[in-house]
Homo-oligomer: A and B are copies of this chain.
């Protein structure tokens, strides 16, 4: 399994769907699991340890509010950890952003955009990391970049026609 994806709650799965779409298209071997840094801390540690044993290369962790999941995972592994701040609760993800990104020096979390855009960008950042040593992934990423450009072109044309 190349990538372990963790979410702190079942209600975060709208963000998870963004990851699924991309990883399925790129044929990445991954697993999405739900485990809470606060409600099931031991399970989080077990999943991280078992992922390391199974050769996982990157871990993605998404959580809302006092989002500690990515930081907790980063403290248990030396793999790169990507954190997605999720916009649940009244503060709309500002709390999750600050909790995820502003880690004290020593334990980094690679934080991406808040919410759904973050799900998409977490998957793409992960692919960029895998692509360093995997030319196949890199080629697919180049294709994806062309697709994005084409979508912008189409939106531009649609707009022009009014």
* Interface residues of A, Cβ cutoff 8 Å to B: 7-10, 13, 16, 18, 32-41, 43, 57-58, 64-66, 68, 71-72, 74-76, 78-82, 87, 89-95, 97-117, 120-122, 124-125, 128-129, 131-133, 138, 141-142, 145, 148-149, 151-153, 155-156, 158-160
Docked Cα-Cα span, A124 to B108, in Å, equals 7
Partner of A79 from B36, B66, B112, B132 at Cβ < 8 Å: B132
- Number of copies of this kind of chain in the complex: 8
Smallest beta-carbon distance A137→chain B, Å: 9
Q: List 16 A-B contacts (CB under 8 A).
A: A38-B106, A39-B149, A41-B72, A57-B132, A78-B131, A81-B128, A90-B115, A91-B92, A91-B102, A99-B99, A103-B121, A106-B120, A108-B121, A108-B124, A110-B111, A111-B111
Partner of A103 from B33, B72, B112, B148 at Cβ < 8 Å: B112
Inside 8 A of A141's CB, which chain B residues have their CB?
Answer: 78
Instruction: Please tell me if the beta carbons of B97 and A101 are within 8 angstroms of each other in the complex.
Output: yes
Partner of A72 from B18, B37, B81, B101 at Cβ < 8 Å: B37
Partner of A66 from B82, B87, B101 at Cβ < 8 Å: B101
Inside 8 A of A114's CB, which chain B residues have their CB?
Answer: 89-91, 101-102
Docked Cα-Cα span, A50 to B27, in Å, equals 30
Instruction: Please tell me if the beta carbons of A75 and B38 are within 8 angstroms of each other in the complex.
Output: yes
Docked Cα-Cα span, A1 to B8, in Å, equals 34
Instruction: Please tell me if the beta carbons of A65 and B103 are within 8 angstroms of each other in the complex.
Output: yes
Closest B residue, CB atoms, query A11: B155
Instruction: Please tell me if the beta carbons of B91 and A94 are within 8 angstroms of each other in the complex.
Output: yes
